[in-house]
């Protein structure tokens, strides 16, 4: 079981790295955007940021799913993807459960999902503030 927890710790670290790299990339994009009062331009900017963050989360969900599938914790990759998505997002339907020796891994995934979703929320707020400032001529 300790080996599985160590693997979970490695996947958590990979998720943080994926998120950090992705958000750093988004910051670079935002820095180059010239914002106006255009509703469509602002909507496009927010949709782009949201879509990019969702892509980061989906990438992280896939990483967890691969671990579950390769470790034989889930019978199929499809089941592993579904389980990972409902665990990462802390939806937790309970229709699929991990074998007993994997349950701490599922808990670590849920905690990682909470942290990464919180980070995305904070980033989205910061990006919105930055876009608003650039639109209004602030620094």
Predicted confidence band of residue 100 (pLDDT cuts 50, 70, 90)? very high
Tell me what pLDDT residue 72 has.
96
Least confident of 26-35, 54-63, 112-121, 127-136: 127-136
pLDDT over 60 at 139, yes or no = no
Task: Check: CB of residue 22 under 8 Å from CB of residue 52.
Answer: yes
pTM beyond 0.85, yes or no: yes
Q: Summarize pLDDT for 19-53 with one digit per residue, the tens.
A: 999 999 999 988 888 777 788 888 898 999 999 99
Task: State the average pLDDT for the chain.
Answer: 92
Predicted confidence band of residue 138 (pLDDT cuts 50, 70, 90)? low
Tell me what pLDDT residue 36 has.
74
Tell me what pLDDT residue 26 has.
94
**Residue 37 DSSP one-character state:** S
Fold of the CATH domain 2-136: Helix Hairpins (1.10.287)
Tell me what pLDDT residue 35 has.
72
Q: Summarize pLDDT for 48-91 with one digit per residue, the tens.
A: 999 999 999 999 999 999 999 999 999 999 999 999 999 999 99
Alpha helices in 71-102 (DSSP H): 77-88
Residue 131 vs residues 6, 17, 51, 113, 126: alpha-carbon distances, Å: 40, 25, 16, 26, 9
Better-scored residue on pLDDT, 104 or 128: 104
Tell me what pLDDT residue 57 has.
98
Task: Check: CB of residue 110 under 8 Å from CB of residue 116.
Answer: no
């Amino acid at each position: 079981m300790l080996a599985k927890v160590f693997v979970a710790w490695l996947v958590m670290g990979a998720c943080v790295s994926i998120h950090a790299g992705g958000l750093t990339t988004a910051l670079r994009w935002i820095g180059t955007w010239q914002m106006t009062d255009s509703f469509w331009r602002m909507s496009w900017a927010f949709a782009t940021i949201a879509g990019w963050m969702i892509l980061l989360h989906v990438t992280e969900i896939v990483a967890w799913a691969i671990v579950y599938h390769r470790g034989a914790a889930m019978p199929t990759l499809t089941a592993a993807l579904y389980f990972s998505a409902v665990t990462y997002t802390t939806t937790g339907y309970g229709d699929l459960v991990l074998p007993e020796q994997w349950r701490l891994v599922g808990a670590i995934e849920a905690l990682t999902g909470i942290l990464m979703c919180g980070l995305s929320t904070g980033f989205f707020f910061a990006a919105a503030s930055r876009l608003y400032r650039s639109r209004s001529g602030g620094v």
